[in-house]
Amino acid sequence: MSKTTAAPPRVLIEDWLPAAAIGVECIRERSTGQQPPDKRLHVWWARRPLTASRAAVLASLLPADFPHETFERLLGFGRPSAEIVSVRRLMDTGYKVPGGFGYDRAFKNPWREDDMQLAQKAAKKLWGDNIAVIDPMAGGGSIPLEAARLGFRSLANEYNPVACTVLEATVDYPFRFGEKLARAARKWGKVWEERIAKRLASFYPVNRSGSVHAYIFARTVPCPDTQYHTPLVPDWHLLKPKSGVNVVAEPQVEKDKGSWRVRIREIGGEAGRLREPPKPSYSDGKGISLFTGRQIPSDYIKAKAQAGEMRSALYAVAIKTPQGLRFLPPDEGDLKAIKAAEKSCTSCGQLGKKQMSFRPSYIQKYRATSGRGYTGCRDGLTCFRPASFSALVFLSKSFVGFGRKYSIWRRNAGSLSFYYFLSFWTSLRTGTAFCHRGILQRVLLAACSIVTIFPSSPLGVRWLPCQQAAA
């Protein structure tokens, strides 16, 4: 029996797409250091830009004869695509175009209600009333998010639990809870921030000439001959600008005391500068002892790591100043803070060992499949440095206790916890966590901005249709 199937209707993306201008908007979306909120919430790779995602969704739903200029406005273009490309070309020559593109980045722009109605009508004519956009491998969720913003039923599938969490926080909660979630995030985030800031203050001193940008640590192992801990540093550079002066940490060893610290030096031929950067004390898996100058074999380093004898030493602190980064050796306050963190680690060590430990079977599998040596991370205590670990434990505990005390988790159906936790894990991953108050700012910014931007009508999000689609 023969089966006849109707040819699928021809859609816009098969005939035409302002690809070059979409490319320009994708660059704008990514290049300003002000990523859209969904990107700031948590790191997820291969996440598509919002403008490209919206273009793909819309152009796959609209008929091939849909008016081009309406489509471009719906993408958030503030001028015709040809002009956008010309402006970009001009900018690429180095010319400073007065007023730039002349409109905000596309993903932020509201659309005209009559344009949206035209698009909805045209899509429904082609596909019927119950349009659903499905992304079977949705990752960080750009496509489902844009489909939902456009007011279509949006279905996302994903097998990675981290991406699923990101998806839920990005595509589900903002549309389900809307502005009230942003308000709650702001309110409770502030209360939480104050409590945490007080508790973590002893780990992160702020009594310097600027805010701490980074703490710079070295892994250390006992020197095989002297048993004094010696740093394994592949590169002593602290700053290597494309132009300007390189800055390094120069190790100063007190052999009789078995200690070392660094001097901050500039590199150059002028008086007072160091001619060459100091030689690395770690390269190709092998170390060089600062105390004897002799080589430390890689097997020895691995064995020490696996035996839990590898440590870390803070050797420089980067401070943000109006003139740029300034580097200092750690002072009394920094070292005292490390001691405080280590002490706190001892008291929460059990939690680190019990609840944050890798199973032996995982370690075995890692050894067998990675082809790399296992360097001794067995549990929370060995994965993080003391201050981060103590802060992590404190944050987790206070997070639950705080929620219980104010009964906020129940009221907000767990959604706030998603934002807070995602944000602070992001801070951990990107290394900004717990430096100064970085994490707290991130928690608040990410949690509030994502909820605020997407479902709010001034930016053109079709909040009601989304709610109806989700119902």
Q: Which residue ranges make up the site for ligand SAM (CB under 6 A)?
A: 46-48, 53, 135, 137-140, 142-143, 157-160, 163
Nearer to ligand SAM, 164 or 325 (CB): 164
Nearer to ligand SAM, 134 or 470 (CB): 134
Nearer to ligand SAM, 133 or 248 (CB): 133
Burial (0-12, 13-18, 19+ Cβ within 10 Å), 352: buried
Q: How far is the CB of 158 from ligand SAM (least distance, A)?
A: 5
Among 312, 248, 239, which residue's Cα sits nearest to residue 278? Answer: 248
Q: How far is the CB of 452 from ligand SAM (least distance, A)?
A: 22
Q: How far is the CB of 182 from ligand SAM (least distance, A)?
A: 23
Q: How far is the CB of 66 from ligand SAM (least distance, A)?
A: 22
Q: How far is the CB of 138 from ligand SAM (least distance, A)?
A: 5
Nearer to ligand SAM, 144 or 403 (CB): 144
Nearer to ligand SAM, 41 or 267 (CB): 41
Please name every residue paired with 295 in a beta bridge, in sequence order, or none if there are none: 288
Q: How far is the CB of 233 from ligand SAM (least distance, A)?
A: 36
3-state secondary structure labels for all residues of the chain: CCCCCCCCCCEHHHHCCCHHHHHHHHHHHHHCCCCCHHHHHCCCCCCCCHHHHHHHHHHHHCECCCCHHHHHHHCCCCCCHHHHHHHHHHHHCCCCCCCCCCCCCHHHCCCCHHHHHHHHHHHHHHHCCCCEEEECCCCCCHHHHHHHHCCCEEEECCCCHHHHHHHHHHHHHHHHHCHHHHHHHHHHHHHHHHHHHHHHCCCCCCCCCCEEEEEEEEEEEECCCCCCEEEECCCCEEECCCCCCCEEEEEEEECCCCEEEEEEEEECCCCCCECCCCCCCEECCEEECCCCCCEECHHHHHHHHHCCCCEEEEEEEEEEECCEEEEECCCHHHHHHHHHHHHHHHHHHHHHHHHCECCHHHHHHHHHHHCCCCCCCCEHHHHCCHHHHHHHHHHHHHHHHHHHHHCHHHHCCCHHHHHHHHHHHHHHHHCCCCCCCHHHHHHHHHHHHHHHHCCCHHHCCCHHHHHHHHC
Q: How far is the CB of 40 from ligand SAM (least distance, A)?
A: 15
Nearer to ligand SAM, 162 or 197 (CB): 162
The phi, psi pair for 391, rounded to 5°, reads -65, -40
Nearer to ligand SAM, 141 or 352 (CB): 141
Nearer to ligand SAM, 170 or 281 (CB): 170
Q: How far is the CB of 51 from ligand SAM (least distance, A)?
A: 12
Q: How far is the CB of 14 from ligand SAM (least distance, A)?
A: 20
Nearer to ligand SAM, 141 or 205 (CB): 141
Nearer to ligand SAM, 145 or 393 (CB): 145
Q: How far is the CB of 137 from ligand SAM (least distance, A)?
A: 3
Count of beta carbons in the 10 Å neighbourhood of residue 110: 14
Residue nearest to ligand SAM (CB): 139
